[in-house]
Structure 1
Amino acid sequence: MQLDLNLLAALDALLEEGSVAGAAERLYVTAPAMSRSLGRIRRTTGDQILVRTGRTMTPTPYALAVREQVHDLLMQVQGVLAPSRELDLATLDRTFTLRWHDALVALSGPALLTAVREQAPGVRLRFIAESSIDTPELRRGEVDLAANADRPTAPEIRSDQVAETPHVIVVRHDHPLTHIETVTAARYAAAEHITVSRRGKLTNILDEELARLDLTRRVVATAPTERATLEFVRGSDLLVTAPECTARSVAADLGLVLLPLPFDLPPARAYLSWHQRYDTDPAHIWLRDLARTALTSAMRGQGQGQTAH
């Protein structure tokens, strides 16, 4: 059986876009031509690949199983056939999907988008929300670049620590703790807390550190994003412990005060993560460099101020 590499590109586009029309637009061919390619793929594989569900197309179990392998194969073929291709930012037409922590999007996303548009106006950025469960989008090629506080453990996922910032206490103006000359660990633990957790967890590393001091705290609520917790804090006597760089960026606008944490806590770190398939992709390397600069500049710049009563 003769292999047609055009079918590999068509299959990758169909699996990425989930529709004939989207795949056709991605590869700059007509919809009828893509439909014919889908027919040939179905005959070659003996699988329907995409089946209609109402107005949308749904990938079959086989399609889901081979999606990552197909994408990797296509990347390898393109690397072999065009290993010395230079990156032309002026004509680059590509969409990157970024799954970043919401606070990092707010803090450094605008600067990244500005830099991208200045250098490559044809590039689009899709920032998507973090999931409440661990998801394999990086491995499957659905996400190009992740940024959050966790270093990935999968061997095929690369990561760089780009910045770190200390934690601070965030309270409303005129909160009882703002009238105390020194906030002790005991007074901190005695206050009512809200935590940031997209999974709704009521405990985290803070509780482990307090336990070392024979202290416990009372967490009365969780919220999935840092901005949401700050809205709770601004109208109550709740406090939240947050990375200084992200809290300081909105504290003044929300009438919030930052207080120093009265015990040692490891700093909040930000990691950039991507699949190893993109290690030598010139466009991805370019985006990683811009993202690293935007995150480092934002976190270090915002984190240099001093907390105050």
Structure 2
Amino acid sequence: MPEPDLNLLIALDVLLADGSVAGAARRLGLSPSAMSRTLSRLREATGDPLLVRAGRAMVLTPHAQALRQRTQNAVQEARAVLRPSSVQPDFSTLQRTFTIRANDGFVEAFGASLIAAATAAAPRVCLRFVPKLEKTAAYLRDGSADLEIGVLGEMGPEVRVQALFRDRFVGVVRPGHPLATQREVTAEQYTAFGHVVATRRGRARGPVDEALAASGLERTIVAVVPSFPAALAVARASDLIALVPASLLGNQSEQHELPASTAAFVAMHAFELPVRTGEITISQMWHPRVEVDPVHRWLRQLARTVCHERRGDDRAALATATGSPTTPRSL
């Protein structure tokens, strides 16, 4: 069956409300003859005359009378569908689970703050963090993930991206380690000890090794673990040096006590690397399908705010821990 012309609904609504072909034509900006042809099409579509002569005026048929309110409701609902949403969510009663793909380091550094901020505004919201084992847009595209947080990879041209903060890598050793007393660690001292490296894809060597090689040096990697928190735990119980993002430490340094829940980080000593490596940008990514969803927009703004606030506090604390001032950079 051919699809009905839904434009006829608007004409029918005006005709039934006005009760006049000439009056409906004026309201719709049509000529009387064009409105008469539209009425003919409506009569054919509904199988009813709709408007009939009664002396010099026209009156609605019983079927037209029955359609009048239904037609008005249908037109109003259609217009509401095609109008930008103005309804603001009630966060006090909102029940929704957001799935966020992020690595363990982000969850360790920012998870608690983000959860606290979310539940303060929306007590019934649940943030479900899942591991990010690969960089792919598939989870955002099929809706199984609402948000992805990390370093931008090949995510596809349609994926929306917003920078959250810039990060850098630092060296970390246990308290009492020979390097823990050094105000500045040299490249020779750095390569004199074994190293534990965190990687999910098995690539143990990277920019640090390239920078060391330019000086004719090489570090000895004796352990590879799947996450930065695991690297910290290994370094805490050995003389190995861990390489971790500065955001993972924050104020979790030798001079600043940690929450009991992060025992693996307690009393660690952080230091600036003796070689220069580029900063990394941590971003949040989402599918355009949820671009204008007010609840999703609220979550994105919350993540950005939490990261900015935490990074502002963490920069000063890490500068104290490493003995080197850091200058915040705008994103």
Structure 1 length normalisation: TM-score?
Answer: 0.68
Q: Alpha carbons of 1:128 and 1:249: their partners in 2 closer, same or farther (altered >3 Å)?
A: farther
Cross-structure match for 2:271? 259
Q: Report whether the alignment pairs 1:84 with 2:85.
A: yes
Which secondary structure state, in structure 2, belongs to the residue aligned with residue 220 of structure 1? strand
Which secondary structure state, in structure 2, belongs to the residue aligned with residue 199 of structure 1? coil
Q: How far is 1:82 from its partner?
A: 6.2
Cross-structure match for 1:106? 108
Select which of 274, 278, 292 maps to 2:290: 278
The 1-side partners of 2:2 and 2:101 are apart by 39
Select which of 304, 308, 314 maps to 1:296: 308
Select which of 241, 245, 248 maps to 2:247: 245
Query: Percent identity between the aligned chains?
Result: 33
Select which of 128, 131, 149 maps to 2:130: 128
Q: Show CA shifts across 1:46-69 (max 9, x none).
A: xxxxxxxxxxxxxxxxxxxxxxxx
Select which of 214, 218, 221 maps to 2:223: 221
Say if 1:177 and 1:183, in contact at 8 Å, map to a contact too.
Answer: yes
Select which of 187, 190, 207 maps to 2:189: 187
The 2-side partners of 1:189 and 1:82 are apart by 63
Equivalences for 1:23-38 in 2 at 5 Å?
A: none
Name which one, 1 or 2, has greater alpha-carbon Rg: 2
Q: How far is 1:104 from its partner?
A: 1.4
Q: How far is 1:151 from its partner?
A: 4.7
Pairwise CA RMSD of aligned residues? 2.5
After superposing the two structures, state which structure 1 stretch, 228-237 or 104-113, moved more. Answer: 104-113
The 1-side partners of 2:298 and 2:183 are apart by 48
After superposing the two structures, state which structure 1 stretch, 211-220 or 284-293, moved more. Answer: 211-220
Which secondary structure state, in structure 2, belongs to the residue aligned with residue 303 of structure 1? helix
The letter for the 2-side match of 1:257 is H
Q: How far is 1:259 from its partner?
A: 1.4
The 2-side partners of 1:80 and 1:212 are apart by 61
Which secondary structure state, in structure 2, belongs to the residue aligned with residue 125 of structure 1? strand
Structure 2 length normalisation: TM-score?
Answer: 0.64
Q: How far is 1:80 from its partner?
A: 4.5
The letter for the 2-side match of 1:84 is S
Q: Alpha carbons of 1:226 and 1:91: their partners in 2 closer, same or farther (altered >3 Å)?
A: same
Cross-structure match for 2:29? none
Count of aligned pairs between the two proteins: 235
Flag structure 2 segments of 5+ consecutive residues without an equivalent.
Answer: 4-77, 259-265, 324-331
Q: How far is 1:81 from its partner?
A: 5.2
Q: How far is 1:237 from its partner?
A: 0.9
The 2-side partners of 1:91 and 1:166 are apart by 39
The 2-side partners of 1:2 and 1:187 are apart by 80
Say if 2:165 and 2:307, in contact at 8 Å, map to a contact too.
Answer: yes
Which secondary structure state, in structure 2, belongs to the residue aligned with residue 174 of structure 1? coil
The 2-side partners of 1:194 and 1:216 are apart by 14
Flag structure 1 segments of 5+ consecutive residues without an equivalent.
Answer: 4-76
After superposing the two structures, state which structure 1 stretch, 83-92 or 193-202, moved more. Answer: 83-92
